[in-house]
């Protein structure tokens, strides 16, 4: 077994929690004095730990243990979204819920399984919107992570779907999840939101990103969304919500709804 670790300022604890949410082998612990935290991710092989180091720095070391298999994650109960979608970590859910649209997202690296408040609320808003529009709507998923939003979009009636992430490993995991769920018609690729060259417009755009990224990227989103299209924003810490809202209004997006769960805010807007 190998472990990646990194020391960080305590003010970044929420960001690290969001980044590694859904990974049962991640640990965030406080350091005596209260000003720093240690972030650790345990990996079965050195390659997995080195991939994380390449992204975030830190250190990698080997741990001598005979009980790694016994540390496997406890099973998480399936997540029901508006009585239409089931998000599960295991395939057997498809047999248990034959009348529902089941998405299987096993925990992979650090890309979540759909149960984090930011992703779960995005899914609820996506379901709500899909019930109000004809099928075939176009969908752009920014910061796709595990690919769960893109997959949900397809199951809810989207036609053209594009999804990207700046993290190559996330794109790899999302592609595996798309294949695992036997979904076709999703274009998945690696890109930076600030460098992506795009001339198409979409009827629905979802961006589950850090607040600082959302604020900078909102002007770009005005070019990627159709007039009167629906924008779903998430990944917003409550204390940063007003800044994001102000920028959205500056870009002429009209707030439709906002939902706070714990320290996270998710919101939907109509495009100008």
Nearest to 28 by CA among 51, 7, 46: 7
pLDDT for the residue 20: 78
Is CATH 3.30.70 the right assignment for the domain spanning 2-71?
Answer: yes
Backbone phi and psi for residue 84, each to the nearest 5 degrees, phi listed first: -120, -40
Nearest to 234 by CA among 142, 167, 151: 142
Tens-place pLDDT, residues 131-154: 999 999 999 999 998 899 999 999
Distance of CA 184 to the CA centre of its chain: 20
pLDDT for the residue 67: 40
Return residue ranges of the chain for CATH 3.30.70: 2-71
Rounded to whole angstroms, the Cα distance separating 54 from 38 reads 17
Return residue ranges of the chain for CATH 3.40.50.150: 79-270
Q: Left (φ > 0), alpha (ψ -120 to 50) or beta: where does 76 sit?
A: beta
Q: CA 139 → CA 105, 112, 204, 231, distances in Å?
A: 20, 20, 5, 10
Q: Output the six-digit token pair for 188.
A: 């998945």
At the fourth CATH level, the homologous superfamily of domain 79-270 is: Vaccinia Virus protein VP39 (3.40.50.150)
Q: Provide the residue-wise pLDDT of the chain in tens; the chain has 272 residues.
A: 788 999 998 888 878 877 776 565 777 877 767 788 888 887 878 888 899 999 899 999 887 644 443 344 445 578 889 888 988 887 777 777 888 899 988 865 445 555 577 888 999 999 999 999 999 999 999 999 889 999 999 999 999 999 999 988 889 989 999 999 999 999 999 999 999 999 899 999 999 988 999 999 999 999 999 999 999 999 899 999 999 999 999 999 999 999 998 888 999 999 99
Tens-place pLDDT, residues 166-196: 988 889 989 999 999 999 999 999 999 999 9
Nearest to 54 by CA among 216, 211, 173, 169: 169
Residues 129-135: contacts with CB under 8 Å, at least 24 apart: 129/204, 129/230, 129/232, 129/268, 130/156, 130/157, 130/158, 133/203, 135/159
Task: Tell me the pTM.
Answer: 0.74
Q: CA 171 → CA 55, 108, 165, 235, distances in Å?
A: 14, 12, 6, 18
Rounded to whole angstroms, the Cα distance separating 165 from 163 reads 7
Sort 133 into a burial class: Cβ within 10 Å, 0-12 / 13-18 / 19+.
middle
| Alpha helix stretches (DSSP H) within the chain | 13-19, 46-56, 93-96, 117-130, 148-155, 168-180, 211-224, 241-250
CB 127 within 8 A of CB 156: yes
DSSP-assigned beta bridge partners for residue 140: 162, 205
Backbone phi and psi for residue 211, each to the nearest 5 degrees, phi listed first: -55, -40
Q: Output the six-digit token pair for 24.
A: 């049962």
DSSP-assigned beta bridge partners for residue 205: 140, 231
- Specify the 3-state DSSP secondary structure of 231: strand
Angle among Cα 124, 138, 177 to the nearest 5 degrees reads: 65
pLDDT for the residue 170: 87
């Amino acid at each position: 077994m190998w472990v990646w670790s990194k020391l960080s300022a305590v003010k970044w604890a929420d960001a690290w929690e969001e980044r590694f949410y859904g990974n049962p082998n991640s640990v965030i612990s406080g350091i005596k004095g209260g000003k720093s935290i240690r972030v650790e991710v345990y990996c079965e092989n050195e390659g997995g730990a080195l991939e994380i180091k390449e992204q975030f720095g830190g250190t990698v070391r080997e741990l001598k243990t005979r009980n790694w298999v016994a540390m496997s994650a406890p099973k998480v109960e399936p997540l029901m979204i508006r009585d239409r979608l089931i998000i599960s970590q295991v395939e057997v859910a498809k047999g248990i819920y034959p009348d529902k649209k089941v998405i299987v997202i096993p925990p992979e690296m650090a890309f979540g399984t759909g149960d984090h408040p930011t992703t779960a609320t995005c899914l609820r808003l996506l379901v709500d919107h899909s019930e109000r529009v004809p099928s075939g709507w176009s969908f752009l998923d920014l910061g796709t992570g595990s690919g769960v939003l893109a997959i949900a979009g397809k199951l809810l009636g989207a036609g053209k779907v594009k999804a990207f992430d700046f993290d190559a490993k996330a794109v790899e995991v999302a592609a595996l999840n798309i294949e695992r769920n036997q979904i076709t018609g999703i274009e998945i690729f690696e890109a930076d939101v600030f460098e992506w060259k795009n001339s198409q417009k979409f009827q629905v755009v979802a961006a589950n990103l850090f607040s600082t990224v959302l604020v900078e990227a909102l002007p770009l989103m005005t070019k990627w969304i159709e007039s009167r299209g629906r924008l779903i924003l998430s990944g917003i810490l409550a204390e940063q919500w007003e800044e994001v809202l102000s920028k959205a209004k500056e870009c002429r997006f009209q707030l439709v709804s906002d939902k706070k769960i714990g320290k996270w805010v998710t919101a939907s807007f109509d495009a100008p």
